[in-house]
Structure 1
Amino acid sequence: MSVTRLITHSFRNLCSASVDLHGELNFIIGENGSGKSSVLEALFFIGHGKSFRTSRVDDIVCHDSKDFVVSIKDENNRQFGLSRDVSKGTTLIKIDGERHNRLSDLAQHIAIQIVTPESFKLFFGGPKERRRFVDLGMFHVKHSFPQQWKKFSRILKQRNACLKVCNNSSDWNSVFRYWTEQFCKSSVEVAEIRQEYVANLTIELDLWLAILLPNIESRVRVQYLQGWPLTSNLDDALANNKSREMNYGHSLYGAHKFDVKFLLDKRPIETQLSRGQQKLFLLALTFAQAKLIERVERVKPIVLIDDVGAELDNKSRSALSKALSSIKCQVVITAIERSVISPFLQQLSCEGDYDDVNDIPGKLVQQPVEYYKMFHVEHGEISEIYLNDSECKIQKV
């Protein structure tokens, strides 16, 4: 899907906003604290039911309000809405005017991929962050995965409960043996589908690295770690560590311990790349996952890129602009200054390479609006920037 209209009420400092977005490429310009990242947060929130900036949902509401609303309309005129009443602690989900009880009902229609300063947690935040990233893609690509993971989580909970009350009675051993058998079977099922997904993600990642980081593309390796040693099956790993598990009171091996590592010349990629290169790698990984989501034709992904100028020099932004021309989904990009997005506009305007947007023959502003939309945000108010042959006109929306 693509979002044609975003409506917010009392969301962060976007007190009341209605924005008509472009179906492919959108630029949002504004100073720090102006509200540009709040636009991305609103889109992310309706796709995930949570924020990428805070774990406390109630912090999102405007300071003088008791509730907030986020609503979108897609290219098929379908409407999706989510509201939160802070005073009552209740959340209301609506799809085409009908109430729904589960956030997953929204998520199956909206596939939001995002790159923000917080995305570097993928390297430094531990296995949990990488599991979250991979499983988010699998939710949309592997349609059986949500139910498989729900089943596994239930079995894991039961097995951990057994470990917490462990004793030597025959009844306990019988119950523990049953849940261990179910746990091993479910772990292997989840691991197999994850391994297939990671293999496809790796193939797609190589294609995007060839555009964004061609100098390292052939040296990158994606290491899949299933959650237990490759040298033994899960049954043996659990049997050999039974006493340790009883001491800890939880399962030490299984699909919940899955990890994926990104290596450059056999070393962790975050120790080998500059901050700018790390961001390009994150973008390549995000585009690779978006492409896999697009390929299953269940839902069209939306890519959000926050503060595109941070860590990226002009050459890197030029490489990113080439990548954006190949990704077939809606993209929303924020930047502090309009000069930061010059490489992207140059890509839209002409085939040559120019050092500055003002050097482009024929004037950039002659490009028709169907290529992209540009917005300016100030003090929570969003204005669309209209370009003509002689000047940039800003009109409040």
Structure 2
Amino acid sequence: MPLALLEFSGVRNLSPTRLTVHPRLNLVVGPNASGKTSLLESIHLLGTGKSFRTNRLEKVLHHDSDSLTVFGRCQIGTEEVALGFQRRDGENEIHVDGEKVDQLAALAQRLPLQIISPDTHFSFLKHARFRRSAIDWGLFHVEPEFFGLWSRYQRQLKQRNAALKQPRMAADAWDEALAETGEQIQKQRSQYLKRLKRYIDQYARQLLHDASMELRLRSGWRQGESLAQALNGDSARDREQGFTHSGPHRADLELLLGGFDARQEASQGQWKLMTLVLRLAQLEDFVDETGRDCILLLDDLAAELDAQRRARVMSLLASLPLQIFATATEQSHLDTSAWDDLKVFHVEQGNITD
């Protein structure tokens, strides 16, 4: 079970709260603007150190508080792990089993989670960086060496970009290392998407009425060239504009529906279903590859899908070893017949009861 205990204070409109949660299904029920999504946000903060609603954590602070704190106890295999995240005076503080750590990755490694919400559907449609991060989420959690590889690429990219801004510095001194690391990232991303295909096919058949869905990765540099060739060809433009135009940091993930770019051809409803198919595929791949449980934060599914599709999604989720936190304005909006047991939390004006 990823999360057994959740405790938080200073989070938006929520009162300081301590919750013992269900290992499988937790429903969070209440009127609009009562604080349901803020409860999911607190879990997201504990697992990532970030909000899925804003890039500025100061906006997450309760209006009467100068800090926010989230604490949780997780079960990883046979071990219980304590996680803590605090935001105060513009700084993050992270604790694992009482020990202060520096990297947010320490939280993500111990509390893997995915979020499906109206906001994430929109972000996934509009911004390539969100589509890239979807791929990298799977690699971070499944391929042990990926985080180190990605971190090395970010350092090399930063050094090359700094050199590009200095007229007398030779930015091409970084090209060989950057190209080698970038090609490795591209290879791992491609292999990951190939592995996802069978899961994509499975969920697309069940949610998209047998319409074909494919994933296509754009590497971030010109097709038919190596990254080293692209960096060399871009050298004058990179120097003039002061940043690196080609590399996996410019990659994009295309979702194809019936062979066409879904961002251009799919309806809003189809796009939401396709992003849901991708998330479900990633969750099942994570479980199969690691043998671990995962948390799914499911915000306002009733606003996204009709009753028939909601019931189908809930049935599919019940077959996966996930710990789910799902919000709804009414408990009847989510079909829980596939679960033997669950827990319901009621939220009203920032107060949570069970």
TM category (shorter chain) comes to over 0.9
Between the aligned partners of 2:205 and 2:111, the Cα distance in structure 1 is 28
Q: Which residue does the alignment assign to 2:70?
A: 70
Q: Are the aligned partners of 1:156 and 1:183 in contact in 2 as well (CA < 8 Å)? A: yes
Matched, 1:33 2:40: no
Query: Matches of residues 266-305 of structure 1 in structure 2 within 5 Å?
Result: 266-297=259-290, 299-305=292-298
Separation of aligned partners in 1, 2:164 and 2:111: 39
Q: Does residue 82 of structure 1 match 2:116?
A: no
Following superposition of structure 1 onto structure 2, how do residues 243-392 of structure 1 map, counting pairs within 5 Å? Answer: 243-297=236-290, 299-341=292-334, 344-348=335-339, 371-384=341-354
Question: Is residue 210 from structure 1 mapped to residue 222 from structure 2 by the alignment?
Answer: no
Tell me the equivalent position of 2:45. Answer: 45
Which digits, 9 at most, give the CA deviation of each residue in 1:256-279, with x for residues without a partner?
111110011232213333333322
Tell me how far 1:199 sits from its aligned partner: 1.5
Deviation at 1:184? 1.3
1:56 aligns to 2:56 (yes or no): yes
8 Å Cα contact 2:112-2:294 kept in structure 1: yes
Equivalent residue of 2:303, what SS? coil
* Shift in CA distance, 67/182, structure 1 to aligned 2, threshold 3 Å: same
Alpha-carbon distance in structure 2 between the residues aligned to 1:106 and 1:12: 21
Q: How far apart, in 1, do the equivalents of 2:343 and 2:98 lie?
A: 28
CA deviations 1:14-44 (Å, max 9, x no partner) are 2211122111111111111111111100000
Judge conservation of contact 1:27–1:334 (CA < 8 Å) in 2: yes
Q: Where does the alignment leave 5 or more consecutive residues of structure 2 unmatched?
A: none
Aligned mates of 2:264, 2:304 — CA distance in 1: 16
Structure 1 distance, partners of 2:100, 2:349, is 33
1:166–1:333 Cα change, 3 Å? same
Change (3 A) 1:126 1:92: closer
Deviation, structure 1 residue 383: 1.7
The whole-number CA distance in structure 2 between the counterparts of 1:91 and 1:300 is 27
Q: Is contact 1:228-1:234 (8 Å) kept?
A: yes
1:118-129 residue pairs with structure 2 within 5 A?
A: 118-129=119-130
Query: CA–CA distance in 2 between the matches of 1:43 and 1:319?
Result: 25
Structure of greater Rg: 1
Letter of the 1:199 counterpart = K
Structure 1: 5+ residue stretches without partners: 349-369, 385-397
- Partner letter of residue 179 of structure 1? W
The TM-score normalised by the length of structure 1 is: 0.83
In the aligned structure 2, how far is the partner of 1:163 from the partner of 1:225? 25
Change (3 A) 1:308 1:142: same
8 Å contact from structure 1 (residues 44, 112) kept in 2 = yes
Report if the CA contact (8 A) 1:27-1:373 is conserved.
yes
Is the alpha carbon distance of 1:10 and 1:235 closer, same or farther for their aligned partners in structure 2, counting shifts above 3 Å? closer
Give the letter aligned to residue 374 of structure 1: V
State which drifts further: 32-41 or 332-341: 332-341
Tell me by how many angstroms 1:380 deviates.
1.2
> Does the 8 A contact of 2:116 with 2:276 survive in 1?
yes
1:148-159 matched pairs, under 5 angstroms:
148-159=149-160
Between stretches 70-79 and 149-158, larger displacement belongs to 70-79
- Is contact 2:74–2:111 with CA below 8 Å preserved after alignment? no
Cα RMSD for the two superposed structures:
1.9
Between the two proteins, the alignment pairs up a number of residues equal to: 351
Q: Which amino acid aligns with 2:86?
A: S
